Amino acid sequence: MSDSPEDTIVAAVLDAVAEQRLPAGAKLGEQALSDLFECNRANVRRALASLAAQHVVELRPNRGAFVITPSPKEARDIFQARRALEHTIARHAAGQAKKADITYLRRNIAEETQARRAGDKPAELRLSRQFHMSLAGIAGNKVLERFLSELTMRTTLILGLYATAGGSHCAEDEHDRIVDALEAGDADELARLTDEHLHHLEAGLSFKTPKPVGSNLRDQLLGPVATNM
């Protein structure tokens, strides 16, 4: 199960971002990574190049690699793209969901609800993302799946930056209703619910109070101060 060091690093960074352990703006030093994963810097750099190509990290010349911090405009673009992709995914998933898929999704929702009640935000985020990716898997289009994977990753960063208190868990029973439509094979309803769900998610954002992205210490000690313009 052990991949190349490059893939290991990429997977680890993506997992960390998906659970919001790595916040937007975090620096990914080459030496730190090569120490952590016990490999040489060449592998680290390839991994960072891959992550940069996925727009999950940003490579600033002579500065290093940083987790991206999506702007409000980028956030809008990403949600718009997600609606385009997930609309199509919904339509194609409707036809070919098996019984096993439905039970898997129900279980996923249950776990997500549990995580939310337990206050386990990393697990909640990971499971919510997994829900959307599972639908993409059912649709069976690898291209759409990969694109959506990238966008859900960036959505997690967006939520970390712009989510309001009430916004992020308005999706309470929406996932449930989505599975209902999937089970019923109602493509139109499924597509409609998916669109709606994403609109609700986006509506829960606020770009007026940008949680600042800093060098880790300052915002943990001094709290939010608007630094980025």
Where do contacts with its own copies occur on this chain (CB under 8 A)?
Answer: 4, 42, 45-46, 49-50, 52-55, 61, 74, 77-78, 80-81, 83-85, 87-88, 92, 141-144, 146-147, 151
**What is the nearest approach in angstroms of DNA to the Cβ of residue 215?**
6
Look up tokens 């001094």; give the residue: 222
Element (H, E) at 84: helix 72-96
> Which listed option, DNA, its own copies, none, makes contact with residue 81 (CB within 5 to 8 Å by class)?
its own copies
Listed in sequence order, the residues at least 6 apart from 23 whose beta carbon sits closer than 8 Å to its beta carbon are: 67, 157, 160, 213
Shortest distance, position 82 Cβ to DNA, whole Å: 31
Which of DNA, its own copies, none lies near 29, with the C-beta cut-off 5 to 8 A by kind? DNA
- If we measure between CA atoms, which residue out of 81, 75, 84, 97 comes closest to residue 184? 97
| Window of 11-19, 31-39, 81-89, 139-147 that interacts with DNA by CB under 7 A | 31-39
By C-beta, is 87 or 121 nearer to its own copies? 87
Alpha-carbon distance of 183 to 94, in angstroms, equals 8
CA angle 108, 7, 33 (to 5 degrees): 105
Phi, psi of 154 (to 5 degrees): -70, -30
Binding mask 52-81 for DNA (x = CB under 7 A): -------x-xxxxx----------------
Contact 46, 2 (CB under 8 A): no
Nearest to 162 by CA among 208, 121, 224: 208
Identify residues 187-216 at the interface with DNA (CB under 7 A). Answer: 215
Using the rule CB under 7 A, is 40 a contact of DNA?
A: yes
Nearer to its own copies, 127 or 193 (CB): 193
In the bound complex, what is the minimum distance in angstroms from residue 215's beta carbon to its own copies?
25
Please choose, from the candidates 47, 17, 19, 18, the residue with its C-alpha nearest in 3D space to the C-alpha of residue 32.
47
92 binds, among its own copies, DNA, none (CB under 5 to 8 A by kind): its own copies
User: Binding residues for DNA, per CB under 7 A?
Assistant: 4-5, 27, 29-32, 39-43, 45, 59, 61-65, 215
